[in-house]
Amino acid sequence: MSALTLTLAAVGLVALGGALALALHRAPRLGTAIAVGASVLGGALGSVASMRVLRDGGVDVLAVSGRTLGGGVVVGVDPLSAFFLLPLFSLGALCAVYGHGYLGARAAPAGGLSLLLAAMALVLLARHALLFLVAWEAMTLLAYLLVTLDHGDGEVRRAGWGYLLASRVAVTALVALFLVLGSRAGGALDFASLALAWRGPGPSGGTALALALLGFGVKAGVVGLHPWLPEAHAAAPSHVSALLSGVLITSGIYGLLRTALWVSPGPWFGVLLMALGVAGALLGIALALSQRDLKRVLAYSSVENVGVLLLALGLGFWARSRGDSPLAAMAFAGGLLHLWNHAVMKTLLFLGVGSVARGAGTRDLERLGGLLRRMPWTGAAVLVGAVALSALPPLNGFVGEWVLYCALAQVGRHGAAKPAVAAAAGAAALALVGGLAALCFVRLVGVALLGSPRSAGAGSAREAPAAMAAPTALLAALCVLGAAGAPALLSAEASVILQLGGSTEEVSSVIQQTTPLVWANVVLLVAGLLAVSLLGWCARGAREDETWGCGYAAPTARMQYTASSFAGLAAALVLPRWARSGPPSEPADPLARALYRPLLIAWEARSARLRFLQQGNVHVYILYVFAAAVGALTWAAVRDGAAP
């Protein structure tokens, strides 16, 4: 059985499980079991197929001719698709299992999650613009339904509308993108024709790349296009937030890379991506420092990590446009490795935060504390995820960023003066981001897991059930294995790097450079485990007592550092005044507060002048449709008549 056939079977199985769960909404236990089982089995089949494609390379395409979708349905899989399908299938299965423990036997959410997984997979498999857009819209609408699952809450409804509004902007840009791409391909919209049409000499692809950056950048949470992201992540159930952050936003990165394969970008595109990456990484992690809601901390951390990823990909495209395939390969290797690692780390932390919220009854950092004692397994998993996401050794987050540092250093060693200075500035910015990330997650771990409970809910918190604890434990193990198995992951990326324009020889060089780092991580990990074991052995039989309270006779939990005070000074130093938190009545995101909200208010005022068109009369609306059709046909006739 071919890899494409196996992948399609996996997608069909997941979609069928979701549909059956919705049909069996009156038997929620059975429906939920079917959806979760289909997601797990389909995820296993799809993961095997994706690993086979990454190992063997090559392209497998299936076209079904017909009159639907502009002449047929075209699907296919190549290393780039397989690279994004692997975390989709594997992490989707874990989120489905976690969701069963998080929401219980609720067939509709379980079925919706399975259908969302199938829609995301179809986006990655589509090889025709119309099929791609249909799958993209299905993914968007299913994600909206899951984000607004608790639609009785006004904040959730607002987050859902913000997500839909951003998605409308994105899909409009994507429709325009495919119209621009298809104009050079003689109206053909299959991906093979688009790639062939844009391969030779012709007009610049700057317009197409700008539209792709807008359309796909909204979904990816690129800085400036990100305000929907923290709202939606905070509103959605935790396993849905994990899927949004770990998998769904990477569909935007996939679309950007796919477009860049057709329209070879010049150096300006790489410089633009690097600038957006540095800005996004700095702003994202700085905003994460000032958040009280645990899920908002993680959401802004996603903006930061997308920025790091764009920095790596931008460096790769810049090097490729200059003919430096070794540097391009190293930059792409670091970026793709970071993408995989981020998917695992962020999924782990969102699931861990979901367990914390379920156990303590709140996600507010100011009302947590002392959870490591009351929820030891969840606390340990969150601690592992926090260390990994801070890009600290000996876990997986450190390896990907280390490869990116090496790529920036290579520019400094062999590049001209201006690129060398820019690379040094990029490395300094990346180091600053790493320091702020460490501070951010020290704050999260120290306030939420250590100290004394700050509320009754935190004081009575209980460990998560097995259905929730097992996926988090497995993801924590993957964070450890991802560091030890970095050479294997880089080797699996080789076919993707070759497709993006790098050289396989340089991938082998990167693997050789990371091998000593891997052994250092292993030694550090073993030493850390031995140190913890030794401390535990020495602490046996020790008498427990309260921490010294600076001489106070009756210290209370209110005397602890608060989440706001812990990072208040750093946030004040890093964030400009306009980016700091506003009053509670204003949007939480500073960009939404300073730019988008005034813009939408002004647009609403102008649009109100057109309300006279809403007559409430069906006959008038039919007249509008008729007039639009006549106008379109007249325009087509005039255009064809004027054509030479």
pLDDT at 565: 75
If you ran DSSP here, which 8-state letter would residue 609 be given? G
> What is the amino acid identity at position 227?
P
At 352, list the tokens.
């861990």
User: Dihedrals φ, ψ of 269, to 5°?
Assistant: -70, -40
How far is 219 from 229, CA to CA, in rounded Å?
Answer: 9
Burial class (CB in 10 A: 0-12, 13-18, 19+), 186: exposed
pLDDT at 67: 53
pLDDT digits (tens, 9 = 90+) for 40-85: 999 999 999 999 998 887 776 776 655 555 556 888 899 999 999 9
pLDDT at 64: 64
pLDDT digits (tens, 9 = 90+) for 300-320: 999 999 999 999 999 999 988
Which letter, b or e, does each residue of 243-260 get, where b requires 16 or more Cβ atoms within 10 Å of its Cβ? bbbbbbbbbbbbbbbbbb
How far is 117 from 139, CA to CA, in rounded Å?
Answer: 8
Burial class (CB in 10 A: 0-12, 13-18, 19+), 195: middle
The string of DSSP letters for 8-74 reads: HHHHHHHHHHHHHHHHTTTSHHHHHHHHHHHHHHHHHHHHHHHHHHHHH---EEEEEESSGGGTEEE
Instruction: Give the DSSP H/E element, type plus range, for residue 77.
Output: strand 72-77
Torsion, Cα 523 506 494 500, to 10 degrees, reads 130
The residue to which tokens 């600290």 are assigned:
392
The residues spanned by each domain of the chain are 266-534+566-575
Q: Are 447 and 561 in contact, with CB atoms under 8 Å apart?
A: yes
If you ran DSSP here, which 8-state letter would residue 76 be given? E
How far is 3 from 51, CA to CA, in rounded Å?
Answer: 9
Q: Are 258 and 123 in contact, with CB atoms under 8 Å apart?
A: no
pLDDT at 71: 56
The string of DSSP letters for 553-582 reads: SS--GGGSPPHHHHHHHHHHHHS-GGGS--
How far is 419 from 288, CA to CA, in rounded Å?
Answer: 30
Instruction: Give the DSSP H/E element, type plus range, for residue 75.
Output: strand 72-77
How far is 638 from 621, CA to CA, in rounded Å?
Answer: 26
Provide the sign of the torsion angle of the four alpha carbons 442, 443, 445, 449, taken in this order: positive
> What is the amino acid identity at position 492?
A
Q: Are 221 and 252 in contact, with CB atoms under 8 Å apart?
A: yes
The residue to which tokens 């992948």 are assigned:
7
Q: Which of 347, 302, 303 is nearest to 476 (CA)?
A: 347
pLDDT at 19: 93
How far is 74 from 609, CA to CA, in rounded Å?
Answer: 44
- How many CB atoms are closer than 10 A to CB 554? 6
| Residues in contact with 409: Cβ distance below 8 Å, sequence separation at least 6, in sequence order | 423, 427
Low-confidence stretches of the chain (pLDDT beneath 70): 60, 63-72, 200-204, 414-415, 502-504, 541-542, 544-557, 559, 574-588, 639-644
Separation of CA 559 from chain center: 37
User: Dihedrals φ, ψ of 530, to 5°?
Assistant: -65, -40
How far is 192 from 119, CA to CA, in rounded Å?
Answer: 22
Helices (H), 244-293: 249-262, 267-289
pLDDT at 210: 92
How far is 50 from 85, CA to CA, in rounded Å?
Answer: 6
How far is 53 from 10, CA to CA, in rounded Å?
Answer: 15
Angle at 270 between CA 265 and CA 275, to 5 degrees: 145
How far is 510 from 153, CA to CA, in rounded Å?
Answer: 49
Q: Is 509 helix (H, G, I), strand (E, B) or coil?
A: helix
How far is 40 from 110, CA to CA, in rounded Å?
Answer: 12
The string of DSSP letters for 337-356 reads: HHHHHHHHHHHHHHHHHHHH
Q: Are 106 and 28 in contact, with CB atoms under 8 Å apart?
A: yes
Q: Which of 134, 138, 46 is nearest to 84 (CA)?
A: 46
- How many CB atoms are closer than 10 A to CB 347? 29
How far is 376 from 427, CA to CA, in rounded Å?
Answer: 37
At 582, list the tokens.
């506003």
> Angle 563-574/267-289 helices, nearest 10 degrees?
140
Q: Which of 377, 369, 363 is nearest to 463 (CA)?
A: 377
Which letter, b or e, does each residue of 442-481 get, where b requires 16 or more Cβ atoms within 10 Å of its Cβ? ebbbbbbbebbbbbebbeebebbeeebbbbbbebbebbbe
> What is the amino acid identity at position 421?
V
How far is 506 from 522, CA to CA, in rounded Å?
Answer: 24
Q: Which residues pair with 101 in a beta bridge?
A: none
Angle at 255 between CA 254 and CA 258, to 5 degrees: 85
Q: What is the largest CA-CA distance in the chain?
A: 94
